[in-house]
C-alpha cells in the first residue's frame, strides 16, 4: 500500500509543476502582447527618409555626330569628329602628321575595314587663317556697295571647311574685298559703270558735233 502511494504523490507533484509552467507561459505571453500593443499605439518618434532620385543617363546625341559619316575611314572624318594632338612648332607649309582619336559616339574604320579609335592624319603645317580661299567660307556684307578704286574691304567671319585640317581656331576674322554692289559682283558693277560712262561720253561728243 505504501509502495502505491509514493508514485501517486510524485505524479501530483509533476502535475503541479506543469500547471505552474503553463500559467507562467500564459502570463508572459500576455505581457508581451500588451507590450506589442503599446508599441503599435505609440510608435515613438518618426524618422523621415528623403529619397534622392537617380540622375537619368543622358541619351542626347552630340550635335557633331550629324557631320560624321558612320563606318567611314577615320582618316577622312571631318575635323569636328576627331580630337588631335597638334604641335604648333612644325615648319609652315611642310607636311606633318598628328595623332588623333575619334570623339564619343563616332564610329569609323581603317583601310582593312576594322573598327578604329586612334589613327594618324597627314596635313600641311599652317593655321586655319592661313588657308587658301578655297578652303574656307566667309560671311558676305550686304551694305558693301562701291565701285571705287582701290576696292574697299569689309570685316568678315570665316570658317574652315569640314574636310580641311588646320591648326588653331577653325573660325577666324578676315578683311575681304567688297565684291558685291547692289546685287552685282564688283567686277560686273565696275564694267557696267564704265560702259555707262563711255555711252554718256559718246552721246556728249555726238551732240557737240
What is the pLDDT at residue 145? 61
pLDDT in tens, the chain (209 residues): 445 556 667 677 776 767 766 665 555 555 555 554 555 555 556 666 565 566 555 578 888 888 888 888 998 999 999 999 988 889 999 999 999 999 998 999 999 999 999 999 999 999 999 999 999 999 988 777 666 667 788 899 999 999 999 999 999 999 988 875 545 554 665 566 566 555 555 555 655 55
CA atoms within 13 A on the CB side of 65: 10
Q: How far apart are CA 107 and CA 97, in angstroms?
A: 21
What is the pLDDT at residue 66? 87
What is the pLDDT at residue 84? 93
Which pTM does this prediction carry? 0.55
What is the pLDDT at residue 99? 95
Instruction: Report which of 115, 73, 117 is spatially closest to residue 99, judged by C-alpha positions.
Output: 117
Length of the chain: 209
Domain spans of the chain, in order of start: 63-125, 127-183
Instruction: Report which of 46, 34, 130, 41 is spatially closest to residue 91, judged by C-alpha positions.
Output: 130
Find residue 159's DSSP bridge partners. 137, 171
Instruction: Determine the 3-state secondary structure of 86 from DSSP.
Output: coil
What is the pLDDT at residue 60? 80
Order of strands across the sheet that contains 82-85: 82-85, 95-102, 118-124
Task: Count CB-CB contacts under 10 A for residue 68.
Answer: 20
What is the pLDDT at residue 185? 54
Amino acid at each position: 500500500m505504501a509502495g502505491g502511494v509514493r508514485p501517486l504523490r510524485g505524479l501530483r507533484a509533476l502535475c503541479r509543476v506543469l500547471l505552474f509552467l503553463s500559467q507562467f507561459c500564459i502570463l508572459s505571453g500576455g505581457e508581451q502582447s500588451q507590450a506589442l500593443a503599446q508599441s503599435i499605439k505609440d510608435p515613438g518618434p518618426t524618422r523621415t527618409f528623403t529619397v534622392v532620385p537617380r540622375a537619368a543617363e543622358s541619351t542626347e546625341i552630340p550635335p557633331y555626330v550629324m557631320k560624321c559619316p558612320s563606318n567611314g575611314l577615320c582618316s577622312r572624318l571631318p575635323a569636328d569628329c576627331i580630337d588631335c594632338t597638334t604641335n604648333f612648332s612644325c615648319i609652315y607649309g611642310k607636311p606633318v602628321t598628328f595623332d588623333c582619336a575619334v570623339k564619343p559616339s563616332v564610329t569609323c574604320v581603317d583601310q582593312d575595314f576594322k573598327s578604329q579609335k586612334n589613327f594618324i592624319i597627314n596635313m600641311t603645317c599652317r593655321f586655319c587663317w592661313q588657308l587658301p580661299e578655297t578652303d574656307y567660307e566667309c560671311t558676305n556684307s550686304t551694305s558693301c556697295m562701291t565701285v571705287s578704286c582701290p576696292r574697299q574691304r569689309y570685316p568678315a567671319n570665316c570658317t574652315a571647311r569640314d574636310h580641311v585640317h588646320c591648326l588653331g581656331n577653325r573660325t577666324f576674322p578676315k578683311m575681304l574685298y567688297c565684291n558685291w554692289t547692289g546685287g552685282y559682283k564688283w567686277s560686273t558693277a565696275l564694267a557696267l559703270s564704265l560702259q555707262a560712262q563711255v555711252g554718256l561720253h559718246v552721246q556728249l561728243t555726238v551732240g557737240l558735233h
